[in-house]
Amino acid sequence: MKRLFDVLLALVAAPIALMICLLVAIPIALECRASPLFFQKRLGRDEKPFRLLKLRTMQPSTPSVASHKVEADNILVTGRILRRLKIDELPQIWNVLNGTMSFIGPRPGLPNQLDLLEARRAHGIFALSPGITGVAQIAGIDMSTPEKLAMADKSYIGPWSMARDIRILWATATGAGIGDAAAISAGR
């Protein structure tokens, strides 16, 4: 049922997300003189690597590290806005459609985030499909605190509930959580 929910929601949301992405692609491309879209290797269910699609919010030369380890001057001006509004995540609807992600689940980490990898292994988080948003995001917990993040993500393990997923989506859409550490540090 969760997969059906994801696919139906993705099919409804995709046209709107595509229009928004096309609109914001222009200022991104003009600012960084690179493709407004990029793929990044992330770890999914059962630690299987996959390619996550995002709107570019950082300079193309930014190293592939956790966002809380990125220098503020690497974040694009448009990127600050997109990250604050969570618009940079919209292309991940493609990942939902191709089955590498769900709308709700733990945010997928990078393979080089070893502390997060170990915390997630210890708490069984890799049994879940990664999500565009999740329990930790609406609680304002980012990847800079791996153990706390894994504990929050663990609370999502259990029987699937459409009502719970809708509550998490609603909380995300209405601005719950503080956003990610990169966007916060860039706002200084």
- DSSP string covering 43-107: E-GGG-EEEEEEE--B-TT--SS-GGGS-GGGB-HHHHHHHHHTGGGGGGHHHHHTTS-EEESPP
How many domains is the chain built from?
1
Give Cα separations from 120 to 27, 39, 145 (angstroms).
36, 23, 12
Q: Which of 55-64, 84-93, 145-154, 155-164 has the lowest mean pLDDT?
A: 55-64
Q: What is the pLDDT of residue 178?
A: 60
Q: Tally Cβ neighbours within 10 Å of residue 33.
A: 9
pLDDT digits (tens, 9 = 90+) for 19-65: 999 999 999 999 999 999 999 999 999 999 999 999 999 888 776 76
- Write out the residue range of the structural domain in which residue 125 sits: 2-186
Distance, in Å, from the CA atom of 117 to the CA atom of 66, rounded to the nearest integer, reads 12
Q: What is the pLDDT of residue 102?
A: 97
Over residues 91-117, mean pLDDT: 95
